[in-house]
């Protein structure tokens, strides 16, 4: 075959390389678009603050795109114009306007817009307050309805009424954590010795994922929580149920598990309101089985996962304060799981 000719049906190697380069260049874009949705996406807002933050992001993207197109256009123009003498006045104006006036004005506008959002983000809520303490590596949560009502303790899950502004008071007894529900609001640090504040105003019902956004130790990546946004009436019913003490074990294996829960020392760290278990070191377990997840959002709330968590705690969450109870007889573990599963 003569040199330079391509066999019928064959594609030039240069074209194959260009197609491969195009696909490789589009891959980051496609991966980025795949991350713009889901229960933990700041670009799929389901809260008032998250919506404004997403709008700010898209405005910045639009501004950056315009600046990029402008600079590319100037570069192409400079590469195509005839070489030779050009007006010094025009060059000086281009430097002053393009290098000083334009970027200063653009950044000032973006800064003013961003700062204008902050007062609403820190304004008081509609009455309900939630105290959240980030601890290694779980979340202590207590609901304060106000009007002199007693705070309702729970753990590792946050439930919110849709359309209400809820003030969240954030703290930590050990190291710096960071409370973040990307779909509902921005992140705020939880600093030992201080109380920081965040206002959440969800606009959609559903389930979302929150995380600790500040490295806080060995199991930092295993410190998440479920966020459930409910209709106001459903939330009020849920909160009233959470305020009630635990019901008695229904008998059988669950009753046997309740005794083992006391005798094996579980009540020394955990509280089950309405029983002799009044521990304050670990999460409150009064209505454990009514939660959506286990072990700070990393396991499903099932009997199998609960058994695994009790028996292999240090493998599931390294350096957690809770020891593993794998040395207990299998029958005892099953009984304790049955008891905890009855705490709805």
Measured between alpha carbons, how far is 302 from 288 in angstroms, rounded to an integer?
11
According to the CATH classification, is domain 39-84+122-243 in 3.30.70.260? no
Say what the pLDDT of residue 4 is: 47
Measured between alpha carbons, how far is 59 from 55 in angstroms, rounded to an integer?
6
Which pair of structure tokens corresponds to residue 159? 């439930």
Residue 232 exposed, middle or buried by CB count within 10 Å (0-12, 13-18, 19+): exposed
Contacts of 316 (CB under 8 A, 6+ apart): 222, 295, 298, 299, 308, 309
Alpha-carbon distances, residue 231 vs 145, 204, 238, 248 (angstroms): 16, 9, 10, 29
Say what the pLDDT of residue 27 is: 60
Q: Facing residues of 152 across strands?
A: 143
Measured between alpha carbons, how far is 47 from 201 in angstroms, rounded to an integer?
5
**What is the chain's pLDDT, residue by residue, as a tens digit (344 residues)?**
554 454 555 544 555 554 555 455 556 655 555 556 667 788 889 998 899 888 888 888 888 888 888 888 888 887 887 777 778 888 888 888 878 888 888 888 888 888 887 777 666 667 789 999 999 999 999 999 877 778 999 999 999 999 999 999 999 999 999 999 999 998 999 999 999 999 999 999 999 999 999 999 999 999 999 999 999 999 999 999 999 999 888 888 999 999 999 999 999 999 999 999 999 999 999 999 999 999 999 999 999 999 999 999 999 999 999 999 999 999 999 999 999 999 99
Q: Of 129, 108, 327, which Cα lies nearest the Cα of 239?
A: 129
Q: Do 296 and 133 form a contact (C-beta atoms < 8 A)?
A: no
Going from N- to C-terminal start, the domains of the chain cover: 39-84+122-243, 253-341
For the chain, helix (H) and strand (E) counts, in that order, are 9, 12
Measured between alpha carbons, how far is 138 from 171 in angstroms, rounded to an integer?
13
Q: Do 175 and 99 form a contact (C-beta atoms < 8 A)?
A: no
Measured between alpha carbons, how far is 328 from 334 in angstroms, rounded to an integer?
10
Say what the pLDDT of residue 340 is: 95
Question: Same CATH topology for 39-84+122-243 and 253-341?
Answer: yes
Q: Do 321 and 282 form a contact (C-beta atoms < 8 A)?
A: yes
Q: Do 228 and 157 form a contact (C-beta atoms < 8 A)?
A: yes
Select the CATH number that applies to the domain covering 253-341 from these four: 2.60.40.420, 3.30.1300.10, 3.30.390.30, 3.30.1360.200. Answer: 2.60.40.420
């Amino acid at each position: 075959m003569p040199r330079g000719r391509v066999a019928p049906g064959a594609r030039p190697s240069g074209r194959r390389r260009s197609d491969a380069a195009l696909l490789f260049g589009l891959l980051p874009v496609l991966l980025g678009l795949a991350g713009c949705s889901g229960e933990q996406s700041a670009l799929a807002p389901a809260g008032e603050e998250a919506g404004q933050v997403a709008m700010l992001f898209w405005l910045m993207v639009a501004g950056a795109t315009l600046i990029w197109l402008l600079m590319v256009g100037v570069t192409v123009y400079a590469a195509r114009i005839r070489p030779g003498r050009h007006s010094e006045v025009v060059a000086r104006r281009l430097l002053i306007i393009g290098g000083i006036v334009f970027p200063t004005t653009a950044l000032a506008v973006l800064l003013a817009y961003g700062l204008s959002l902050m007062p609403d983000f820190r304004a008081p809520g509609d009455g309900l307050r939630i105290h959240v303490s980030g601890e290694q590596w779980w979340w202590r949560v207590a609901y304060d309805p106000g009007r002199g009502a007693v705070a309702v303790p729970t753990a590792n899950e946050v439930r919110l009424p849709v359309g209400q502004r809820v003030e969240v008071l954030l703290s930590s007894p050990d190291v710096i954590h960071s409370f973040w529900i990307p779909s509902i609001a921005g992140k705020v640090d939880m600093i030992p010795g201080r109380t920081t504040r965040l206002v959440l105003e969800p606009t959609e019902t559903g389930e979302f994922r929150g995380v600790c956004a500040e490295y806080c130790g060995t199991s930092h990546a295993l410190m998440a929580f479920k966020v459930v946004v409910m209709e106001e009436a459903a939330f009020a019913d849920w909160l009233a149920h959470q305020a009630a003490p635990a019901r008695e074990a229904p008998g059988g294996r669950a009753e046997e598990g309740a005794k083992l829960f006391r005798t094996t020392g579980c009540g020394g760290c955990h509280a089950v309101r309405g029983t002799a278990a009044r521990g304050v070191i670990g999460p409150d377990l009064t209505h454990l089985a009514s939660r959506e997840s286990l072990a700070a959002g990393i396991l499903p709330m099932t009997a199998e996962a609960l058994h695994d968590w009790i028996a292999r705690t240090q493998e599931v969450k390294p350096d957690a304060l809770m020891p593993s109870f794998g040395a207990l007889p299998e029958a005892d573990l099953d009984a304790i799981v049955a008891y905890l599963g009855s705490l709805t």
